[in-house]
Structure 1
Amino acid sequence: MPGELLVADLDMPSSVYGVHGAAGLTRWRSLAGGKGLRGPYEAVEWACVPPGGLSGEHLHSRTEEVYVLLTGEGEAILNGSPQLVRAGELILTGLGATHGLRNVGNEPLSWLTLEVPAPRTVALARPQRMETMSMQVPDGKAKVVDLGRELDVDPRPVLEGPLRRIRMLQVAPGMSLDLTGRDYEHTVFVLEGRGSAVAESVTVPVRQGTAVTTSGGEDLRLVADAEGLRVVCASFEISLPPLEGGGVR
């Protein structure tokens, strides 16, 4: 059965101070949330910090997370170790890992956040499984991957949850690209260009900064205008039944 199509852009982001205990300003925008999706997913968000800005170091005790770096240069702190990162790279943070991110460049540092509950978190939310699951958070893995070079990344085994692929996709001018909704939900974020996102239920225009998220069972076609489209696409497997009432919150 077709699902919903969630469309958001970067107009009117929120100003947030003190993210993860760090002083300073973060610009933030929610692009999709758990209750709008059929899989047990947490959030798709956009964030941006100015030069010198910081997203504070913190432990992932319940969720797994990917940062898709969109603009700028930064220093990621992964399990206590610093690593220089830049636009076009992914920061993969597994359950039990710590991460933080500082803008060390001269322009805004922005990224997409893809956050999902880890499998043990979903299992612990089901009362019949609690007695068989350990409450101890494992020592987590964290890794930086160059999406701009690899173009198609499987985030496993750093992540164990439903996020299966992260791709950099190019749609040539006047051409189209189809994404199947069978067993998957997709989030597409437009990096460059203009065009349309076409689903069974609706056709919507897209441009730089537009995010389109399918909600299970909905095939999606991306159609590029004369300038073409360059997008990031994250694909989530939804073979497991969702929790009653929506995603884990």
Structure 2
Amino acid sequence: MSPTAPARPGSGGPRPLDSPRTQPPLTPADTAPAAPAFSSIGTVTDAATVYGVHGAAGRTRWKCFAGRRQLASPTEAVEWASIPPGGLSGEHRHTRTEEIYLILRGHGEFLFNGRPHPVAPGSLALTAPGNVHGLRNTCDTDLDWWVIETLAPGTGAVLSGADHTPEVPAMGDIAIHDLFAERTVSTAGVFTGPLKSVDVTDVDAGRQCVLGRSDAELAVFVHSGEGRVTAADGTTAQLAADTCVTLGAGTTSTVEAGSALRLLIVTLAVPQHATEAK
């Protein structure tokens, strides 16, 4: 859903928080001076229909919420995808990016280096460069997942003009977590780029939480429930299932739950010079 006020660029901001977890509500002293509004916000209602994704037969519904133009971290894309019963997102090798697949609804098989692994809502798959992955829908309903793809450090160096030729690592071991059971998953030991962790935050109806990091952007996906998010500059947007909002580093936003909210939160570290520029 679109914000009730237009997003405005800005600088500075209130005292940042160091964790995306639930925090006490902001006080008036905490909210001055005004911080930038959301980096991006959108829903899946206008998702595109794409055929032959990664060479697979059949259709995929797809939506890109944010990419390099909206984000300060070396993030390729924050996306949502869905395939129908029997659908397949084709297997392909990652040579320059690190990517997560987080299953939102449905059941299927995550294909990793030629071997299938069952996945269900909450399954979080981490794919590092050098590995081949894909996804197959094995249930009788649509299979929906959240996708975030970030640049490996070697790729970032090449894009910045550095004299560097990244090597593609050898295939690694499977890394699939049950995020809904674990509540927080660190990518340490698997990823080397900006995507540092994935968290679940539940907010009871009528309660608030404050989200923000001093050193990282946050990509926030509403898995279930309804509510409202308000940036420090007063920009407000309604939240419902399948809404995605990205929050800039050094900013804070207050989430108010109209009904019980489940938020999926990815931490995307930004380069030090980007935070210093603020």
Structure 2 length as normaliser, TM-score?
0.82
Aligned to 1:72: 106
Which of 229, 232, 249 is 1:216 aligned to? 249
Say whether the 8 Å CA contact 1:39–1:240 is kept in structure 2. Answer: no
Q: Is the 8 A contact 1:162 1:236 kept in 2?
A: yes
**1:169-221 superposed Cα distances (whole Å, 9 cap, x missing partner):** 10011111112231110111111111111111311111111111113322122
2:193 to 161, 178, 191: 161
Specify every segment of 5 or more residues in structure 1 that has no aligned partner in the other structure, as ranges: 243-249
Please give the alpha-carbon distance, in whole angstroms, between the structure 2 residues aligned to 1:62 and 1:111: 21
- Give, in whole Å, the separation in 1 of the partners of 2:151 and 2:217: 15
**Are the equivalent residues in 1 in contact too, given 2:127–2:133 (CA < 8 A)?**
yes
Query: 237, 259, 262: which one pairs with 1:230?
Result: 262
In structure 2, which of residues 43, 55, 62 is the aligned counterpart of residue 21 of structure 1?
A: 55
1:126 partnered with 2:173: no
* Equivalent-residue separation in structure 2 for 1:237 and 1:46 (angstroms): 21
Q: Given that residues 182 and 219 in structure 1 are in contact (C-alpha distance below 8 angstroms), is that contact kept between their aligned partners in structure 2?
A: no
Deviations 1:55-99 (A, max 9, x none): 000001111100110011111111122111111110100011110
Question: Does the aligned pair in 1 maintain the 2:212–2:249 contact within 8 Å?
Answer: no
1:135-157 per-position Cα deviation (integer Å, ceiling 9, x unaligned): 32111434111101101110121
1:139 partner amino acid: A
1:45 correspondence with 2:79? yes
Deviations 1:1-43 (A, max 9, x none): 2444111001121000000000100001111111001112111
3-state DSSP of counterpart to 1:211: strand
Determine which of 86, 90, 93 is the counterpart of 2:120. 86
Calculate percent identity across the aligned residue pairs. 38
SS in 2 for 1:35: coil
Q: In the alignment, which residue of structure 2 is the partner of 1:60?
A: 94
Paired residue for 1:139? 170
Once residues 139 and 73 of structure 1 are traced to their aligned partners in structure 2, the CA distance between those partners, rounded to angstroms, is 29
Q: Distance in 2 between matches of 1:240 and 1:41?
A: 15
Q: What displacement does 1:241 show?
A: 4.0
Mean Cα deviation higher: 97-106 or 209-218 = 209-218
More strand by percentage: 1
- Report whether the alignment pairs 1:12 with 2:43: no
Q: TM-score, normalised by structure 1?
A: 0.91
In the alignment, the residues of structure 1 paired with residue 190 and residue 204 of structure 2 have an alpha-carbon distance, to the nearest angstrom, of 32
CA distance in 1, matches of 2:36, 2:192: 25
Q: Distance in 1 between matches of 2:64 and 2:166?
A: 29
For residues 208 and 86 of structure 1, the distance between their equivalents in structure 2, rounded to whole angstroms, comes to 18
* Number of equivalent positions: 238
Could you list the per-position Cα deviations for residues 102-131 of structure 1 after superposition, in whole angstroms to 9, with x for gaps in the alignment? Answer: 00111110100010011111112233x32x
Give how far 1:240 is off.
3.9
Answer yes or no: is the 8 Å Cα contact 1:58–1:98 preserved in 2: yes
What CA distance in whole angstroms lies between the structure 1 residues aligned with 2:84 and 2:93?
A: 23
For residues 150 and 184 of structure 1, the distance between their equivalents in structure 2, rounded to whole angstroms, comes to 22
Q: Counterpart of 2:168 in structure 1: which amino acid?
A: V
